[in-house]
Structure formats: C-alpha cells, structure tokens
Amino acid sequence: MHGLMQERALALPLVLRRVERYFGHKRVVTRRAADDETVATWAEVCERTRRLAAVLDHLQVPDQARVGTFAWNSQRHVELYLAVPCAGRILHTVNHRLYREQIGYILEDAADDVIFIDRSLLPVVWPVISGYAGMRYAIVMDDGADAPIPDDPRILDYETLLAEVTPLDREFSIPDENTAAALCYTSGTTGNPKGVLYSHRSVVLHAVLLLAVDSFGINERDVIMPVVPMFHVNAWGLPYAAILSGADLVLPGPMTDPAGLISLMERYRVTFSGAVATVWRGMRPYLTQHDLSSVRMIISGGGAVDDALSRAYQEAIGLPLTNAWGMTETSPVVTTSRLATVHDDLDPDTKRAVIGSPGPAIPLTEVRLVGDDGKEVPWDGTTPGELQAMGPTIAARYFGETEPGPAFTEDGWLRTGDVATIDPHGYVRIVDRTKDLVKSGGEWISSVELENAIMADARVAEAAVIGVPDERWGERPVAYVVPKDGAELDADDVRKHLEGHVARWWIPEQVVFVSEIPKTATGKFSKRQLRQLHEH
C-alpha cells in the first residue's frame, strides 16, 4: 500500500519561490575591487533571474542543454545558479584553472550550448574556448575588468540581454525531481575529468541537509561567505543553502587576497565561511587585526585540517576550524564534524582535534569501510579501509557512461579512493588518498599525518609529503617544506621536531625546502606536480 501524501517534486523552483516570498529584503553582496562592493536584495536577484530565464528562451537554448559558466563568486553567478536549472537547462560550472586540454575536453564532453564568462576571465578563457565549435553564444558578464572583448559575432553582453527582455511571467515547473540540474567535472588527477550530473532532487536535498543543526546549521540569521569557488562542486552547495534559508550571501568576486577577504568578513559581519585550508592559512597573519566576533563557524574542507592552524584560529578569534569531507561525486558534503555528548569530557585540545576531523556522516548519507579482502572493516577507530559512500546526494554513475564502472561497487556504493578509519561513534578520519599513501618496508605511512606533524612546528608555513621509490624500503617519504618568513630551519630541525610526534621510521631522510607548495586547480597540495618536481 502506498502512502497518501502529495508527490511534490523536490526541485529548485521551490527554493526560488521561497526566497522570493520570504526573504526578498535580504542581501547579496559582491566584491568588485578593494573596498568596493555591489549590494543587491534577493528580490532584485530573483527579478533578474526571471529575466535571465527569458534570455535563455530568447537565445533558443534547448531544454536540458548545458549552459557553461566561467565565473567568480558573484551575484551574476548566483543568477545563473537559479535561472538555468529552474528554466529546465543544466548549469555547467567550469574551473578556468584547469589545464587547457582539460577545459577543451570538458566542453566537448558536456557539449555546452552557450557559455557565460566573466570579463576578467576572457584573457585566460577565450583562447581556450574560441575554437570550440559547439558554442553558439558566449555571453560576457562585465565585472569591471578592462580585459579587451574579442571581436566575434558569437559574443553578447549579459546586461544588454537582460535589459532587452521582460521577466519570465510563467511559473517555473520541474515536474520530475530526477531531472538533471547541474554538471560538475572531477579534477581528473588521473585520466580525463569525469562529469557528475546532479539532479534537482539531489541539489535540494543537499541544501536541506546543510540547514540541519548538526551539520552546518545554516539559517536566516547567517551571513554566508563562500570562498570556495562557485566553479568547484557548486561552492560546496553553500549558495543553494543560503537561498533556501534566506541567509545573506557575501561573495568575494575575482579577488581572493587574504587581507581583502578578512576585511570583507569584518565589514559584513560574516557568520559562516567555507574554504580550503590554503585560504585559512593565508589569512592567519591578519586575524588579530580584525573584529571577527560575528563568525560562528569556519569550514576548512576538501582536505585535512592542520591542527596548528586550527589552534591559531582558536587562540586569535576563539573558534577552531571545522572539517568536512566530500568529493565532486558527493554533492559534496558527506561528513562534517561536531562535538557530541560522547565528547563532553575530553580536554580542549582533543575537542579541537575532533572538530578538525571529518566527523560523522550527515543524515540520509551512509559510509562504510571495506578492506582489501572485500570485507567490511569494523568501526574501531584504528583499522583502515577504503571509504565508501551511499545516499541520495551521491552519484550513481558518471555523465555519458551507460554503466556505473569501477568507481562503484556491485551493490551501488561509491568507492571514494580515500583510506579512512571510523571510530565507534561514526567519526571518520581520512588516512590518505589510496594513491598518496607511502608504503615503506611493507607498512603504510600516511602522508597527511606526516604533513600535519611537520606543520605543527611554528617555524613551518606549509608542508607536503610524497612517497618516492627506495631500493631498500620500496618507498620512502620526502617532505617539501615552506619555512615561515624569517624562520631559520634546516632538515635536521624538521626531523628533530618530528621525533616523538610520529613513529621513528616515518621520519623522512629527505627534506626539501621550497618557497611554495604547488597547488591544484582547487587550491589543494598538488602531489602530482610535487612528484614531477622530484623527478627532475
């Protein structure tokens, strides 16, 4: 017997209608230049969203066609986040920092019909995309940059198009909640990037989950500043969560300099922000110069939280960094940490470590660990296994593929490629990426743990570890270390610091000092580039 409840599609028009009805007075702030922001109300953003939907019709963008974006975190990008899926097309955000060949591959694979580009990105993006034959129009969004606009009949201007139409007056309707809403590509560290095709249902559920008090607890009183780019897994779903809850959004635009970001946080009384650790590390020297008393939660996601950095935040602004784990394939948030009743008696340092670990799965998602023998690994907090994930916000297969393929198990779980442990309360710890583990003398060394132990030294700004072939041990770790400005540090100092923090056989013989750790297109340490560096 079926239940007798209304079958209302979980689709983005519900989210749009809510912000229009209830939160029209709330704000979207976009930074244009130092101390220069535009401020719009959600009512204005929604009106422009309806115009943008009319523009898509006017340009005859077919139903379910992919609409590409090369854009910073900005109000116009939010308009695209809403208009494209609500009007039945698929939003395809592209990371302009990817290699040229990867961008070319992604456009062809996604078969984007029209592409929206921030003017400041034209010099980088246009040479890569102008030869893409599938692009009928390139719509330039003038963000104040003076980049020249190429002379090409396909180029149109965003504001002119919006001014020429009347806002769509029909109600948006997506009757089938499994209709595709958005497409993001994995960063493709090995092989070609793969498309992850989110549905309206998965996007809406993910937004609802970020509102849960035991996850990010996003609510109407929040002022959310996503520093994580809107071209990276939908800025971790933060814009949609802000829209659903009626929170204010503060968007850093093209500028991501630490001093500018922290000033923006202070001036707009930001309560919640999310970024990768590199961003929080960059802001650290400025913490005591600003009033950040409004901030209630800082998410450092996409990688491990370095405890030394989290401690610095706790000491400077009274708030440690909260970790969250996820991937492009998982919308992305699957776990985020919080202190539960079982942690009440822990000392402050251990509590900070709990908050800085990935934590338990959020509601409706499930995780498990599987060993090399294919058997489930117990949740004892020490036995590692491959982390696998399952849930309505997690991909079932990649875009364009007819079969789930090797990234998925026979019973439909996602194989994440991360090695983790899970404690009896369900708190996940990531040991490493499978491919980044260092196998020395038949035993595993976690590159992540070793990096964090090195970064716990106050003289170290950044550290990354890779495994290199070794005749005797199979592999040995090599540490790349960036000393803090003015710090005196040699390889012996690094090794001495590690004594007592990690097992003796983990201590690297080779420590290489560099001025910067190479980063991936999403700001994480690029182990691939480090390996290349090591080979040359």
Residues designated catalytic: 186, 329, 439, 444
Residue among 75, 87, 79 nearest 46 (CA): 79
Compute the least distance from the CB of residue 362 to ligand AMP, in Å. 13
The Cα–Cα gap between 461 and 487 comes to 9
Residues 6 or more apart whose Cβ sits within 8 Å of residue 500? none
Q: Structure tokens of 233?
A: 């897994």
Compute the least distance from the CB of residue 269 to ligand AMP, in Å. 27
Compute the least distance from the CB of residue 525 to ligand AMP, in Å. 11
What values do phi and psi take at 323, rounded to 5? Answer: -95, 155
Nearest residue (CB) to ligand AMP, 273 versus 328: 328
Nearest residue (CB) to ligand AMP, 179 versus 526: 526
Residues 6 or more apart whose Cβ sits within 8 Å of residue 431? 384, 418, 419, 420, 421, 437, 444, 446, 448, 449
The Cα–Cα gap between 448 and 437 comes to 9
Nearest residue (CB) to ligand AMP, 179 versus 323: 323
Distance of CA 412 to CAs 197, 200, 403, 404, 407, Å? 16, 20, 11, 8, 10
Compute the least distance from the CB of residue 136 to ligand AMP, in Å. 30
Compute the least distance from the CB of residue 54 to ligand AMP, in Å. 34
Compute the least distance from the CB of residue 220 to ligand AMP, in Å. 27
The Cα–Cα gap between 334 and 349 comes to 25
Count each helix (H run) and each strand (E run) in the chain, helices first. Answer: 16, 24
Nearest residue (CB) to ligand AMP, 292 versus 437: 437
Nearest residue (CB) to ligand AMP, 417 versus 426: 417
Which secondary structure element, helix H or strand E, spans residue 51, and what is its range? helix 42-58
Sheet holding 90-93, edge to edge: 155-157, 137-141, 114-118, 66-70, 90-93, 180-185, 195-199
Which secondary structure element, helix H or strand E, spans residue 128, and what is its range? helix 122-129
- From the CB of residue 422, how many other CB atoms can be counted at a distance below 10 Å? 26
The Cα–Cα gap between 385 and 388 comes to 9
Q: Which spans of this chain sit near ligand AMP (rule: CB under 6 A)?
A: 186-187, 233, 301-304, 323-328, 332, 358, 416-418, 430, 433, 522
Bond from prior residue into 226 cis (ω within 30 degrees of 0): no
> Is there a contact between 158 and 140 (Cβ–Cβ < 8 Å)?
yes
Nearest residue (CB) to ligand AMP, 88 versus 193: 193
Nearest residue (CB) to ligand AMP, 246 versus 302: 302
Residues 6 or more apart whose Cβ sits within 8 Å of residue 17? none
Compute the least distance from the CB of residue 149 to ligand AMP, in Å. 32
Nearest residue (CB) to ligand AMP, 274 versus 508: 274
Residues 6 or more apart whose Cβ sits within 8 Å of residue 462? 281, 455, 481, 482, 516, 517, 525
Compute the least distance from the CB of residue 142 to ligand AMP, in Å. 30
The Cα–Cα gap between 430 and 384 comes to 9
